[in-house]
């Protein structure tokens, strides 16, 4: 059998979960060219619904510019990355393939990995609040956090909507060299951190919600694990998490202990 894709990585993440940074880091494990179909629509042909609102196709030399879709579709790819954002993965219970007519649209794949990216809910929500440009489709905080709980249960294996799943803990990925080495090994790749400090020029070229692209080349210096502190004293922020005991329990099972966040949780009674 002839494979069109040697490696296909499909990303599932909530917006502002740091998954674009992980995509770049992963892409640097491969020789150029690397192909990314960002923010595609589930249950469709991703080549027709992907969005380069992050302008990676114009500003990032490691990424192929996709102008002639049909030509690119049929090219042999060593690395293809497809990203889905804010998708309710519980819908996969209906058995449909999230890639429409996969063999025809994407092609046969030698190695397939579904990547679930989870960032802690406090920094994720703060980053969504301060996101530059367009407001994410899920505007309601309760909807966002309901979805986070779905992703957290999938991360822990309480649910298994995604097959061949590799969960990524964004907080650990950002902070731990050993964790990143473990992840590379899971994919059978020779480890490199070459892409760690690249800040994707996402969402219209803005980059990070707080630092834009000013930390490009030194991305590991960004305070991405402290964004929540900007919001901790805002009434709306505390109310968003109030009574969310399930969320707090899931958070404590997944993320390293943080005394400041723990104090915040105790203050609001969860």
d(CA 41, CA 204): 18
On whether the CB atoms of residues 207 and 133 are closer than 8 A, the answer is no
The angle that helices 245-254 and 141-156 make with each other, rounded to 10 degrees, is 40
Domain ranges of the chain: 5-267
Per-residue pLDDT of the chain (270 residues; tens, 9 = 90+): 789 999 999 999 999 999 999 999 999 999 878 899 999 999 999 999 998 654 454 556 667 777 789 989 999 999 999 999 999 999 998 999 999 999 999 999 999 999 999 999 999 999 999 875 555 555 689 999 999 999 999 999 999 999 999 999 999 999 999 999 999 999 999 999 998 887 665 444 444 433 444 444 433 446 789 999 999 999 999 999 999 999 999 999 999 999 999 999 999 999
Q: How many CA atoms lie within 13 A of 194 on its CB side?
A: 10
Question: Cα 19 from chain centroid?
Answer: 3
On whether the CB atoms of residues 13 and 117 are closer than 8 A, the answer is yes
Residue 111: helix, strand or coil by DSSP? Answer: strand
**DSSP per-residue letters across 228-239:** GGGTTT-HHHHH
d(CA 165, CA 83): 14
pLDDT of residue 59: 59
pLDDT of residue 91: 95
d(CA 237, CA 247): 14
Cα–Cα distances in angstroms (integers) from residue 72 to residues 36, 75, 80, in the given order:
11, 5, 11
Verify cis geometry, omega within 30 degrees of 0, for the bond prior to 33.
Answer: yes
On whether the CB atoms of residues 232 and 154 are closer than 8 A, the answer is no
Residue 2: helix, strand or coil by DSSP? Answer: coil
**Residues paired with residue 80 on neighbouring β-strands, in sequence order:** 8, 35
pLDDT of residue 167: 98
- For 21, the token pair is 């940074």
d(CA 222, CA 224): 6
Task: Give this prediction's pTM.
Answer: 0.89
Q: Is the dihedral angle over the CA atoms 204, 90, 166, 114 positive or is it negative? A: negative
Considering just the CA atoms, what is the radius of gyration of the chain in Å? 18
On whether the CB atoms of residues 9 and 57 are closer than 8 A, the answer is no
Task: Note the CATH number of domain 5-267.
Answer: 3.40.50
């Amino acid at each position: 059998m002839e494979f069109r894709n040697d490696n296909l990585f499909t990303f599932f993440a909530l917006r502002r979960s740091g998954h674009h940074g992980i995509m770049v880091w992963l892409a640097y494990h491969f020789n150029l060219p690397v192909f990314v179909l960002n923010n595609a629509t589930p249950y469709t042909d991703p080549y027709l619904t992907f969005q380069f609102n992050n302008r990676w196709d114009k500003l990032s030399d490691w990424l192929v510019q996709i102008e002639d879709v049909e030509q690119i579709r049929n090219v042999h790819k060593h690395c293809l990355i497809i990203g889905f954002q804010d998708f309710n993965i519980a819908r996969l219970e209906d058995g449909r393939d999230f890639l429409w007519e996969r063999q025809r649209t994407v092609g046969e794949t030698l190695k397939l990995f579904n990547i679930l990216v989870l960032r802690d809910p406090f920094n994720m929500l703060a980053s969504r609040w301060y996101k530059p440009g367009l407001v994410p489709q899920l505007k309601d905080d309760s909807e966002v956090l309901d979805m986070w709980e779905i992703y957290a249960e999938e991360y822990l294996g309480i649910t298994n909507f995604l097959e061949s799943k590799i969960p990524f803990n964004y907080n650990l990925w950002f902070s731990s060299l050993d964790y990143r080495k473990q992840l590379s090994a899971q994919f059978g790749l020779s480890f490199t951190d070459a892409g760690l400090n690249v800040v994707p020029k996402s969402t219209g070229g803005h980059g990070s919600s707080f630092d834009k692209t000013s930390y490009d080349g030194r991305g590991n210096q960004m305070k991405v694990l402290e964004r929540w502190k900007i919001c901790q004293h805002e009434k709306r922020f505390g109310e968003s998490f109030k009574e969310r005991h399930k969320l707090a329990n899931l958070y404590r099972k997944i993320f390293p202990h943080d005394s400041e966040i723990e104090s915040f949780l105790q203050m609001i009674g969860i």
